[in-house]
Amino acid sequence: MARLSPVPHDRVQIDDAFWAPRQEVNRKATLPGVFKHLKATGRYDAFKLKWKPGKPNPPHKFWDSDVAKWLEAVGFSLATHPDRKLQRLADRLIDDIEKAQQKDGYLNVHYTVVEPELRWKNLRDNHELYCAGHLMEAAVAYHDATGKRKLLDVLCRYADYIDRVFGRGKGQLRGYPGHEEIELALMKLARATGENRYAELARFFVDERGRQPHYYDIEARARGEQPDPHRGSGITAYDYNQSHLPVREQTTVEGHAVRATYLYSGMADVAMETGDKSLLKALRKLWDNCAGRRMYVTGGIGSTRFGERFTFDYDLPNESAYAETCAAIGLVFWAHRMLHLDPDGRYADVMERSLYNGVLSGVSLDGTHFFYVNPLAFHPEAAQKNPALHQRAAGGRQGWFGCACCPPNVARLIASLGGYAYSQSGTEARVHLYIRGRAKLEVAGQAVEIVQKTDYPWTEKVRLAVRPERPSTFTLSLRIPGWCRSARLRVNGKSVRLAPIVKKGYAAIRREWKRGDRVELTLPMPVERVEAHPEVRMDCGRVALTRGPVVYCLEEADNGPRLSDLVLKRGAKLTARREKDLLGDVVVIRGKALRRREDEWKSEGLYRPADSKTETVPIRAVPYSTWANRKLGEMVVWIGNGG
């Protein structure tokens, strides 16, 4: 089978009512807004290397990555929507970056002006290789978008230097990053430049990770410190940064969730490049553990703010969920790579789940405020006053964060969203995401345009026009989402039985395609009450409402307070209705629930024999991704069920 590869986002045009407005807000509000913060906080100008010891506001060790992610997002955006002003800001920055590069190729603001003596001395805690990776990704994206090579050349020189510093040769360091990222970035750089050494270096970082003797022990001793595997974790030695075992021996997703997904993405890239089956095998195990035991229904990951990390199987607390926006994004990266390494709709199901829910919740509808953490239940007073919860969520979305990873991360993902929708090979066109618009693929040696007409995710119909340049035989594979239990297909008006042609989540339609061919996929999307695995102790007796890929929540703005006390009547009707003026045009779910009457409780009573009367109240659920765009109040995803 010919190898599938993603169709780049600049070949994909999105003009739907769901994502297109988000992309426009991303271009017009988020990218300029993030720039404003980068400028105001000193990040944008830090590459001028003007900071001197004793002056205030020293460049922080991961500032470079914030700027790089914004630059990458600008690159992605310019590829589909030229913008002279953004490009000028980017070019100016790239000039500074070029000048900030040291003679030997080294490039990191903090370790050039603040702590030059610590270069490469503490890979465990510092972020040099992480920052390098983000700059490489930016360079590739900017080059792809503009054809300008300056930043790409700078990063190649940096990569060449890193390749001299790290390795198994004499005098080289056998280390690897405490915060993974450079692995996947080097793979992008290798593909962009054709330089295989970069791919080899990525593989080196993957292969060295977690080996004994442990590099972080060695470098700690070299610093005159005792090895401290518990640093940042508090739980298990070195699992915080996924170096507790060689990567091929890891079977559970552990530690800091962003680091984890970036590592697994890099592993998938290396496996794709090298055909290494042992990596694929490890990745499948890790995936099963992540998606099957450690992922929120929103596609968020990371169960605790302590270490921003995974905890253990089925441990998915709602109110104290961390579910960092960056981690959901990392899960999309990983899923997208698995989708090519091991083609199977289950990866796309998770990718879609995260995109529509746990990623998108990270940014406000107006594109200027961000969630770092994405809890699945929220109580305003608790977020402020119970210190076990993360106060980053207490005031709702924030305009900026001292640790500012999430805003530019969500910006780069939304700007490049089209790149997650299609794949292509010599014999196949594959559709992963249903989004109105058009895409230009290369299949069977020619350009094939696919035009989608749909109001997904709000309505069930997806109409596709397939337009090869000339009649040609190839396979069109359409994803049948895991959430859909009764999909139907028509090709040129004729019903086609799905069962015989669906394999691993895709309906494969092999035929001679010619201009004018029409495919109609119907994906019925009733409102579903979803239950969690019985081991998820927090969700016992509760259900989440979903419709299609969209996970819903109840907000105080619609339903008043005391959301935890609402109980859906078993079997009671839940109806979906489009509300064009609500939250930028969404489908809401309406129904009825029971709630105990609070007026019966005397003010001093706290416990009493159970005999509360209940009252029936109407409920309105809104997409989880849109919560906290109105007056901040209570929110729950998991709702009492069975009253």
Of the residues 426, 445, 471, 642, which one makes contact with a copy of itself according to CB under 8 A: 642
Catalytic residue among 308, 460, 555, 634: 308
Alpha carbon dihedral 603, 607, 611, 615, in 10-degree steps, equals 50
288 binds a copy of itself (CB under 8 A): yes
Judged by beta carbon, residue 207 or residue 239, the one nearer a copy of itself is: 239
Round to whole Å and give the CA distance between 251 and 283: 8
CA distances from 639 to 398, 408, 527, 570 (A): 27, 33, 14, 12
Number of residues near a copy of itself (by CB under 8 A): 66
99 binds a copy of itself (CB under 8 A): no
473 binds a copy of itself (CB under 8 A): no
537 binds a copy of itself (CB under 8 A): yes
643 binds a copy of itself (CB under 8 A): yes
Taking a C-beta distance cutoff of 8 angstroms, is the pair 313, 535 a contact?
Answer: yes
Judged by beta carbon, residue 260 or residue 563, the one nearer a copy of itself is: 563
Taking a C-beta distance cutoff of 8 angstroms, is the pair 55, 472 a contact?
Answer: no
Shortest separation between residue 456's beta carbon and a copy of itself, angstroms = 20
Shortest separation between residue 565's beta carbon and a copy of itself, angstroms = 4
Nearest to 321 by CA among 638, 570, 2, 82: 638
Shortest separation between residue 249's beta carbon and a copy of itself, angstroms = 20
305 binds a copy of itself (CB under 8 A): yes
Give residues with Cβ within 8 angstroms of 324, minimum separation 6.
Answer: 257, 258, 300, 302, 308, 372, 373, 374, 406
320 binds a copy of itself (CB under 8 A): yes
Active-site residue flag, 405: yes
Judged by beta carbon, residue 491 or residue 639, the one nearer a copy of itself is: 639
Judged by beta carbon, residue 384 or residue 473, the one nearer a copy of itself is: 384
CA distances from 307 to 68, 269, 374, 457 (A): 24, 26, 15, 34
Round to whole Å and give the CA distance between 137 and 458: 34
Secondary structure class of 466 (helix, strand, coil): strand
Active-site residue flag, 319: no
Shortest separation between residue 25's beta carbon and a copy of itself, angstroms = 30
Catalytic residue among 290, 326, 405, 406: 405
Taking a C-beta distance cutoff of 8 angstroms, is the pair 495, 477 a contact?
Answer: no
Q: Which residue has the tokens 């600049």?
A: 10
> Three-state secondary structure along 480-503?
CCCCCCCCEEEECCEEECCHHHEE
Distance between first and last Cα of the chain = 52
Shortest separation between residue 601's beta carbon and a copy of itself, angstroms = 6
Judged by beta carbon, residue 117 or residue 381, the one nearer a copy of itself is: 381
Round to whole Å and give the CA distance between 376 and 357: 11
Shortest separation between residue 420's beta carbon and a copy of itself, angstroms = 21
Please report, as ranges, the residues that interact with a copy of itself according to CB under 8 A.
234-235, 288, 291-293, 295, 297, 303-307, 311-312, 315, 317, 320, 379, 381-382, 384-388, 485, 528-538, 540-544, 562-565, 567, 595-596, 598, 601, 603-612, 640-643
Known catalytic residues?
Answer: 308, 405
